[in-house]
Structure 1
Amino acid sequence: MNNIILIGLSGCGKTCLGNIISKDEEINFIDLDEYIEEKNNMTIKEMFNISEEYFRDRETEAVKQVSKLENTLIATGGGVIKRKENMDALGKSGCIIFIDRKPEKIIETLDISNRPLLKEGKDKIYDLHKERYKLYKKYAHITIDNNDSKEKVINIIKDIIKIKLHKR
């Protein structure tokens, strides 16, 4: 399988980068959270209101589905790494790239209105970083620092796409 999968904390730039790169490279793009919402006719927030477990089950179903695709750029939700089965499926389907952004940089730009895990406030991002960082590093094939130039990150991912998807 030849997918490119973006992982990282909520607000690290996965969806923004994915939208830009998919247009420039003419590659299919899926934002996993949007995909989950469409498939379930519910917002992420509504699913979390039922329970986080309810949402995570829907997320795992979606991961299984999108992992079967080919030549697709996939931006995951920040918590996808919480289930090993998700990461096993994604790892088999392509190259996992960890978009590493410092919590203080995320807080500068983050809109928390549609992010249920951040309902306690932006400072929750520090707790999530502490909880998840080792998992992002564990599952990533490649780590890219996204603390400075967005253009630099875009170009690195485009180069990876050219290599992994054999695009010229």
Structure 2
Amino acid sequence: MEKDIILLIGMPGCGKTTIGKEVAKKISYNFCDMDSYIEEISKSTVKELFNISEEIFRNYESRACKELSDLNEKAIISSGGGVIKRKENIDFFKDKGVIIFIDRPIENIISDVDTSSRPLLKDGKTKLYNLYSERYNLYNDYCQYKITNDKDIEDTINKVIEIIKSNK
């Protein structure tokens, strides 16, 4: 079975959106940023949803996973970093798509991510370390492929494309 949906998972700041957009452009797939999709269906920003409660945001995230996993098109989907917090989110994609973990060393993320612009990271870099230790094993458990993003971004983009081609 051809898997036309590619789900990118990983920590905030690992490069999912940047990589996803470039891969989509190079192989003529559609691109969807899950946070943007959530904002579209909720008519609220991610920050506004988190201000209500994380659970409200996660409920919209689960709805987005269900809807996006049913796409009938070739698409690269950049998930939010916490998509792995609910196993059901990953289960939606498991049989319909390819799940790729973009693993970027935490030191690289900390060196160039503006934590103030991310709702879950507004408390600073310590929070990022906490999220990393909470989520890292889940990313590994749920992915079908893992790519380390610690060199040239073009290298990572090409590795994602190779994985997609190998699943045709």
Alignment TM-score, normalising by the size of structure 1: 0.94
Distance 1:83 1:151 in 2: 31
Q: Tell me what 1:135 maps to.
A: 138
**Structure-2 residue corresponding to 1:92:** 95
Q: Which runs of 4+ in 1 moved over 3 A?
A: none
CA distance in 2, matches of 1:143, 1:17: 14
CA contact (8 A) 1:3 1:71 kept: yes
> What is the SS of the residue equivalent to 1:113?
helix
Alignment pair present for 1:126 and 2:126: no
Shift of 1:13: 0.2
The answer as to whether partners of 2:10 and 2:139 remain within 8 angstroms in 1 is yes
Q: Distance in 2 between matches of 1:18 and 1:86?
A: 19
Q: Does 2:81 match 1:81?
A: no
Structure 2 counterpart SS, 1:97: strand
Question: Shift of residue 149 of structure 1?
Answer: 1.7
Distance in 2 between residues matched to 1:48 and 1:68, nearest whole Å: 26
- For 2:108 and 2:37, how far apart are their aligned partners in 1? 27
* TM norm structure 2: 0.94
Q: Can you list the C-alpha shifts for 1:11-53, whole angstroms capped at 9, x where unaligned?
A: 0000000111111111111110011011111110000000000
Flag structure 2 segments of 5+ consecutive residues without an equivalent: none
Give identity over the alignment, percent.
Answer: 51
Report the 3-state secondary structure (helix = DSSP H, G, I; strand = E; otherwise coil) of the residue aligned with 2:11: coil
Cα root mean square deviation, aligned: 1.1
- How far residue 5 of structure 1 moved from its aligned partner, in angstroms, is 0.8
Could you tell me which residue of structure 1 aligns to residue 45 of structure 2?
43
CA contact 1:107–1:123 (8 Å) conserved in 2: no
Whether 1:150 and 2:153 are equivalent positions in the alignment is: yes
**How far is 1:154 from its partner?**
0.6
Deviation at 1:109, TM superposition (A): 1.2
Could you say which residue in structure 2 is the equivalent of 1:25? 27
Structure 2 counterpart of 1:30, which letter? C
Distance in 2 between the 1:125 and 1:48 partners? 17
- Matching residue of 1:103: 106
Partner of 2:66: 64
Q: Following the alignment from structure 1 to structure 2, what is the Cα–Cα distance between the partners of residues 25 and 67?
A: 19
SS of alignment partner, residue 129 of structure 2: helix
* Contact map agreement 1:101 1:145 (CA 8 A) in 2: yes
Whether 1:159 and 2:162 are equivalent positions in the alignment is yes
Distance in 1 (alpha carbons) for counterparts of 2:93 and 2:113: 26
- Count residues in correspondence: 165
